[in-house]
Amino acid sequence: MKMEPVSSNQQFNFQGDVLAEIRKSKRQTKLQIAQSAERIKLSYQSIVSPPKKATTKMEAFMNAFDQGMVIYDGVMMGMRIVRTLRGLFGRKRK
């Protein structure tokens, strides 16, 4: 099968379609970025917002339990990080 060279007229015929596709893709990408930014914003707000006030004893207990679990998780993660850093930098290798 013999390949023929592409003339300049053939190249320009496809340029309009390619540019249109690029523009369409760019619009879709910008829309996806905007949607992702909104999801990130909502997630961040839900993470850092203070817990709602408890109206019943059970809600108060659950809020206290959740706070305790967060503290426990933070301490355990901190201990893992310290152990990892000690393992990397603490011992002198012979």
What is the pLDDT at residue 49?
A: 82
Q: Report pTM.
A: 0.46
Query: Rounded CA gap, 70 and 53, in Å?
Result: 18
What is the pLDDT at residue 51?
A: 76
What is the pLDDT at residue 88?
A: 84
What is the pLDDT at residue 74?
A: 93
Six-digit token pair at 90?
Answer: 């603490």
Contacts of 86 (CB under 8 A, 6+ apart): none
What is the pLDDT at residue 1?
A: 47
Per-domain boundaries in the chain: 9-49, 53-94
Query: Rounded CA gap, 82 and 74, in Å?
Result: 12
| Average pLDDT per 10 consecutive residues for the chain, totaling 94 residues | 53 68 95 96 87 87 91 95 88 62
Contacts of 14 (CB under 8 A, 6+ apart): none
